[in-house]
Amino acid sequence: MTASEQRATSNGQRSFKVPESILVVIYTRALDVLLLERADHPGFWQSVTGSRASMDEALGATCSREVREETGLVRTPSDFEDWRLTHRYAIYPHWRYRYAPGVTHNVEHVFGLAVEGRFEPRLAPDEHTAFIWLPWRDAADRCFSWTNAQAIRLLADRPGAARV
């Protein structure tokens, strides 16, 4: 369990993850996509993902925080493109302990982040062990999550996707 998953309330009790998250596809003008390998599941590649810290945290702020935590890249909430795409999916049973009892589904909001070029992210070792930049088709094929793969496949068709 990562530090962000071990949040505690002021009375010392564990707080659960909010079942609402973001997925941020980080891409270059050439449509190369950054993927990160999960520390808790080697071979599981993904874009930046993360849950809202609270229901009061704006989604853009969640994007900014998660991208900073997972890659070291500092961006403001307005730098993220809201793709106005959401998915509701069942939370994998082996990850349900992170959520309040009875929570079985998550709502994921998809965002994009255009960057000038490939960069070497500063990984959070408790979350990710490796990174790779791949052309969008290869990146989509590498993702373990169908929602992540779908989002990357939509990248090439997005108006202005290659703009930075």
Residue 12: inside a domain: yes
- How deeply is 2 buried, as exposed, middle or buried, from its count of CB atoms within 10 A (0-12, 13-18, 19+)? middle
Q: Are 114 and 122 in contact (CB under 8 A)?
A: no
Q: Would the pLDDT of 14 be above 80?
A: no
Residue 161: inside a domain: no
List 82's β-bridge partners, or say none.
Answer: 111
When pLDDT is averaged across residues 70-82 and rounded to a whole number, the result is 98
Q: Are strands 128-135 and 48-51 parallel, antiparallel or unpaired?
A: unpaired
pTM, rounded to two decimals = 0.87
At 32 the pLDDT is: 97
Q: How confident is the model at residue 15 (pLDDT cuts 50, 70, 90)?
A: confident
Residue 163: inside a domain: no
Q: Which tens digit of pLDDT belongs to each residue from 145-156? A: 999 999 999 998
Q: Would the pLDDT of 9 be above 50?
A: no
Q: What's the structural domain count of the chain?
A: 1
At 3 the pLDDT is: 42
When pLDDT is averaged across residues 62-88 and rounded to a whole number, the result is 97
Residue 162: inside a domain: no
- How deeply is 112 buried, as exposed, middle or buried, from its count of CB atoms within 10 A (0-12, 13-18, 19+)? buried
Q: Are 48 and 127 in contact (CB under 8 A)?
A: no
Q: Are 147 and 48 in contact (CB under 8 A)?
A: no
Q: Which tens digit of pLDDT belongs to each residue from 18-62? A: 999 999 999 999 999 999 999 988 999 999 999 999 999 999 999
Residue 164: inside a domain: no
Q: Would the pLDDT of 1 be above 90?
A: no
Residue 35: inside a domain: yes
Q: Would the pLDDT of 7 be above 90?
A: no
Residue 97: inside a domain: yes
Domain that holds residue 68: 3-155
What is the b/e burial string over 45-71, where b = at least 16 CB atoms within 10 angstroms of the residue's CB?
A: bbbbbbbbbeeeeebbbbbbbbbebbb
When pLDDT is averaged across residues 157-161 and rounded to a whole number, the result is 71
When pLDDT is averaged across residues 110-139 and rounded to a whole number, the result is 97
Question: How many helices and strands (H and E) does the chain possess?
Answer: 3, 7
Residue 111: inside a domain: yes
* Residue 52 belongs to domain with CATH number: 3.90.79.10
Q: Would the pLDDT of 163 be above 70?
A: no
